[in-house]
Structure 1
Amino acid sequence: MLPRASFRRPPSMPEITMYTSASCGYCVAAKNFLRSRGLEWREVRIDLDPEERARMVERARRTSVPQIFIGDTHVGGYDDMMALHRAGGLEPLLRDDG
């Protein structure tokens, strides 16, 4: 397991929340991407907590993982996050001006 980045989220930066499960390759890819950008996130393992799974489905209206939120904004899954990044929409969300 790779060590967590030493990045400290500035108070103005929204929290990144990622709903994951243990056997999810896209979850690993999403975490690797965020780590490569020096970002931290709060990981919520839905395979360990049925209540968190229900909360994820309520928030995201999806049952697949990962489901990624920046603040209260639902980014979607890994492919959605990468499409948003390629379109230039990820950075504004991280700066909380998107």
Structure 2
Amino acid sequence: MNQITVYTTSTCPYCDMMKNFLKEQGLSFNEVNVQLDQAAANRLVKTTGQLGMPQTEINGQWVLGFDPEKVMSLVK
């Protein structure tokens, strides 16, 4: 079972592309909207050092931005 979390904002088109891609692949994921959760936003910046969205954690590995090839290389 893959552990996938997508960190998003409300106004990010690439976030929607990432979520749609995961759905098309039949991959379930949790979404954390960092615009609505400041604590999660702070943790994310501490963890990855990145502000851009989306950021997707897959089984402990990070994908920055919309990168379907990297996503598929990390899922089981």
Q: Same fold (TM over 0.5)?
A: yes
RMSD, aligned α-carbons = 1.4
Instruction: Give the corresponding residue for 1:41.
Output: 29
- The correspondence for 2:59, drawn from 62, 71, 84, is 71
Shift in Å, 1:58: 1.5
Deviation at 1:15, TM superposition (A): 0.6
- In the alignment, is the contact (CA less than 8 A) between 1:16 and 1:68 conserved in 2? yes
% same residue:
34
For 2:68, the equivalent position in structure 1 comes to: 82
Following superposition, the deviation at residue 23 of structure 1 comes to: 0.8
The CA deviation at 1:60 is: 1.8
| Structure 1: stretches of 5+ with no match in the other structure | 1-12
Higher strand share: 2
CA contact (8 A) 1:60 1:76 kept: no
Secondary structure, aligned partner of 1:44: strand
Residue in 2 that maps onto 1:94 = 75
Aligned length: 76
1:26 to 7, 10, 14: 14
Runs of 4+, deviation exceeding 3 Å: none
Q: Which runs of 5+ in 2 are unaligned?
A: none
- Letter of the 2:75 partner, please give it: L
Q: Which has the higher contact order (CA 8 A, sep 6+)?
A: 2
| Separation in 2, partners of 1:71, 1:83 | 15
Distance in 2, matches of 1:51 and 1:33, equals: 27
